[in-house]
Structure 1
Amino acid sequence: MVVSCKHESVIVVGAGCFGISTAYHLLQRGFTDVTVIDRSETLPAPDAASTDINKVVRTSYSDIFYTRLARDAIEEWKKTEEWGDTYRESGVLVSGSSDERPYASKAYINDLTLGVRTVKLDSGDAARAVFPANVKTGISFERSLGYLNLDSGWALAAQGVEKLMARVITLGGKVVSGMAVVGLMREDGRTSGVRLADGSSISARLVVIASGSWTASTFPELNLGESCLSTGQTIAHIKLTEVEAAPYRNVPVVLDFQSNFYVFPPNDDNIIKFGLHNSGVVHYTHGGTEKKIVSTPRTVSSHGDDGLRVPQSSLKRLRSSLRDVYPDLADKAFTSTRLCWYTDSPDGDWVIGYYPSDTGLFLATSGSGHAYKFLPVIGRIIADAIEGTLDPVIAQKFATDRKHLTFDQSRGLLRPLDLATEQLCLPEDLLP
């Protein structure tokens, strides 16, 4: 165990999925001085990836490690005394496997191996039968078949973070908003705290960086490069009336790994969210120095309403993909859009571990677009790594200095495009 005493101070930078779960699991293990700080004045931060109306919760992974971990997470999500109605087990329709991209077929095998309830969909009629009779489905289910995972669904994203944040505070942890970190303090060759935007600083025995897509730009001196690449993914919403939403209330999440399109059932406010799970876009800035160019989120917090605009080309693709799944929705106006900023590693695995040669600095980041579903349990892995008890094979899987020998197969192999602000959507682009 690197932190030799559980009474020593721990600062967690970032109150999103990684950060708040880390704090919770450390406190559960008897750590007594855990403080979570976040740049946002409002928590959960309105522009964080973990702050959204919903997130997919699925066991369907081509890597059985994540399938097992997701099973553990879902068992926790089902504890309504702790999570209330955060988790909704709608089922997830998984499709889009091919010889070139076998992700979905590998996920099916892993789900079967672990006893997940599944229904194979080997024809268009079988796929359409998953949906209520009064929901019209498109051609997506004719050309891309798959299976229905009955033991998965979706979660109310911001609500989940709020509930775990409350439990952190109940356990004696501190959660402080409006505290923007601008750099690290070092003493005798190791990190000793953080410097804040207001000129002050906070000392700590251990600094855990869980700042998501702001990691590389906030700490350019760490040379994280593409291990923590900030990418923006396009999502949009349609607001339905109660009558319009009713037929879709009991549909599963649709997740197509061929088109990279996903769509949720309507939430309690009759909003349907849909998006693209692909390589996204990058927004390069100098990250505080003229010598280090890093991708930096461009959000509602940094650019106001302009930060909610998405590329016109992605918006067109969203509408086309929506038509292929739910044609009756495709001619409705989009009520809002957003770039959801992920922190990506090339292989899609998280970055969890001590920074090389620095026992005072720990990284817990690079969710790669699939961390939120593990909110109840991801802090367990991080706490194990902090204490030095994590299985060595898993520790190497998430090591901060590992070599990336594979690439994330869930989103294709295309590199993210540069964000061209002159090509962002205008209000009229949201109309049908």
Structure 2
Amino acid sequence: MVYGKDEAILIVGSGCFGISTAYHLLKRGFKNVTVVDRSDILPAPDAASTDINKVVRSSYSDNFYARLAQEAIQSWKTKEWGNTYQESGVLVLGSSSDASKGAYTNSSYENDIAIGSRVNVLKDGDAIRSVFPKGVKVASFQDSSGYLNFDGGWANAAQGIRLMTANVIAQGGNVISGKSVVKLLRQNHKTTGVQFADGTTFYASLVVLATGSWTASTFPDLDFRGKCFATGQSLATIQLTPQEADVYRNCPVVLDFGKQFYTLPPNEDNIIKFALHDSGVIHFPIPGKAISTPRTILSHPQDGLSIPKTKVRALREHLRGVYPDLAEKPFAATRLCWYTDSPDEDWVIGYYPSDPSLVIATGGSGHGYKFLPIIGCIVADAIEEKLDPSQAKRFAVDRDCTQLHSGRTSAPEELDVEGLCSLEDLLPDFNSS
């Protein structure tokens, strides 16, 4: 369906997908674009895109995403993003003895070479250790091999969202906080608007749902055919002194696909973040309804940032396999970062079947943020029905989606709220207690 530039477009969700879509629609001349978000504070404190930093890499086993990430990285380098993007390089690791744990890294290397990335092959532990600055104590990397991709790094995630939000407003877009959508309004099998929790309504010619990990639980009547389920990924941080942070400041991002773990250099506040890149946890708060729902700092202020004790243990163990000294420090904070996962890890972008007034833009699957500068262009193409047919098929809401992606093949665990970590669990003697 073709929409006029003056028709009302409502985007629900102001995270990566939503705010980027608004930005690109406004750039194309659409004049009546409104973004609403459930959070009173923007960026939303519990959104996946609101974080101290995110990895920005072109290292994908899928050539499509490798090339798209390369395009995004070029956009990150433009002046409108200021210092949001930091090109620290990305150390991509895999197992040198287990072929199954090295397959993703090997495929990523081939794709990085194909797109012309600047890379340095690292065949063993000695070569890997050589890429770290002098004075940084690192592990042996005895069973690892990989490569250093110089064309990558990390982005200040929350800053990127704030900058794009300001740009949307500067272009005439409306961004409204504190409006939680509870219902889609429909007439003659078409979406005509939304109803908010406060009873008010908003009518629009087109509604775009960019609600991230809240998509399935907020709209249980929509059939996503298993493509939008919320999973919580465990991360932790360590607060360093300025002197300690300076030691690690120039380290690359370490992304170990074999161990499903990554860590980033310290940010400007001297905080170092590290996380698990596994299948995460799922949460079913409503008995009898198998719809995973995020459990965050907004829904559970007391312990919404806590992660399972088992994940704390795994994080410390993996951190010891990179930076042994840091692994002996107390963790400053933890968080379950909630993603919208699809089994094939492809995004969900396109018109909802049989409804020409409803577009879905979600399914980040833990690898959406790095595309913030350009992902809205894909959504805008879908809205204007200009999307390349191969991409439209890849992202379709009703596509067949039965094959698990090779990056994260294990099943997610159900969240045990009785087994969440306490402050004591964040101390460095946790493993021996």
3-state SS of 2:231 partner? strand
Following TM superposition, by how much is the alpha carbon of 1:99 offset from its aligned partner in structure 2, in angstroms?
2.3
| CA deviation vs aligned residue, 1:178-211 (integer Å, no higher than 9, x gap) | 0000010001111110110001111111100000
Aligned partner of 1:409 in structure 2 is 406
For residues 15-414 of structure 1, what are the structure 2 equivalents within 5 Å? 15-80=14-79, 82-97=80-95, 98-101=98-101, 102-139=103-140, 141-286=141-286, 292-411=289-408, 413-414=409-410
Matched-pair contact (CA < 8 Å) for 2:225–2:398? no
Cα distance in 1 between the residues matched to 2:402 and 2:150: 33
The answer as to whether partners of 2:224 and 2:398 remain within 8 angstroms in 1 is: no
Shift of 1:405: 4.2
1:105-127, CA deviations, whole angstroms, 9 ceiling, x for partnerless residues?
A: 00000000110000000121110
Normalised to the residue count of structure 2, the TM-score between the two structures is 0.97
Identity of aligned residues (%): 59
The residue type paired with residue 366 of structure 2 is G
In structure 2, what is the Cα distance between the partners aligned to 1:221 and 1:385?
23
On the 8 A contact 1:216/1:225 being kept in 2, the answer is no
How far is 1:250 from its partner?
A: 0.2
Deviations 1:354-394 (A, max 9, x none): 00000011000010000000000000111001000101011
Please give the alpha-carbon distance, in whole angstroms, between the structure 2 residues aligned to 1:130 and 1:145. Answer: 13
SS of the residue corresponding to residue 262 of structure 1 reads strand
AA aligned opposite 1:125: D
Residue type matched to 2:13 in 1? Answer: G
C-alpha distance after superposition, 1:105-155 (max 9, x if no partner): 00000000110000000121110010012111113x221110000000000
Aligned length: 425
Shift of 1:292: 4.1
Check the 8 A contact 2:124/2:144 in 1, yes or no: no
Structure 1 residue 43: Cα displacement: 0.2
Structure 1 residue 225: Cα displacement:
4.9
Deviation at 1:409, TM superposition (A): 1.7
CA contact (8 A) 1:3 1:206 kept: no
Tell me which moved more, 400-409 or 104-113. 400-409
| Aligned-CA RMSD value | 1.0
SS in 2 for 1:220: coil
2:401 equivalent to 1:423: no
- CA contact under 8 A between 1:96 and 1:257: conserved in structure 2? yes
Structure 2 counterpart SS, 1:373: helix
Task: Give the whole-Å Cα distance in 1 for the aligned partners of 2:6 and 2:188.
Answer: 21
Give the Cα separation in 2 of the matches to 1:23 and 1:94: 33
CA distance in 2, matches of 1:395, 1:203: 27
- Tell me which amino acid in the other structure corresponds to 1:215: T
Task: Kindly indicate whether the alpha-carbon contact (under 8 Å) linking 1:253 and 1:263 is maintained by their aligned counterparts in 2.
Answer: yes
Amino acid at match of 2:131: V
1-structure distance, mates of 2:115, 2:168: 32
Mapped partners of 1:324, 1:285: distance in 2: 35
- Give runs of ≥4 in structure 1 deviating > 4 Å: none
TM-score (norm 1): 0.97
- Deviation of residue 224 (structure 1)? 2.4
2 CA distance for matches of 1:99 and 1:350?
28
8 Å contact 1:225–1:294 — kept in the other structure?
A: no
Q: Gaps spanning 5+ residues in structure 1: where?
A: none
Q: Distance in 2 between matches of 1:3 and 1:310?
A: 45
Shift in CA distance, 430/265, structure 1 to aligned 2, threshold 3 Å: same
> Aligned AA for 1:134?
G
SS at match of 1:376: helix
2:304 alignment partner, SS class: helix
- Secondary structure of the residue aligned to 2:99 is coil
Q: Distance in 2 between matches of 1:34 and 1:322?
A: 44
- Residue 3 of structure 1: how far off its partner (Å): 3.4
Q: Are the aligned partners of 1:3 and 1:205 in contact in 2 as well (CA < 8 Å)?
A: no
Amino acid at match of 2:108: A
Measured after TM superposition, the shift of residue 47 of structure 1 is 0.3
Partner SS, residue 192 of structure 1: strand
Question: 1:244 aligns to what SS in structure 2?
Answer: helix
Q: Is the 8 Å Cα contact of residues 261 and 276 (structure 1) preserved in structure 2?
A: yes
> In the alignment, what sits opposite 1:8?
7
Residue deviations 1:228-284 (CA, integer Å, cap 9, x gap): 110000000000001111110000000001111100000000000000011000001
1:214 CA drift (Å): 0.5
Q: Is the 1:118–1:147 contact (alpha carbons within 8 Å) kept by the matching residues of 2?
A: yes
CA distance in 1, matches of 2:188, 2:415: 40
| Alpha-carbon distance in structure 2 between the residues aligned to 1:317 and 1:226 | 28
Counterpart residue type for residue 56 of structure 2: V
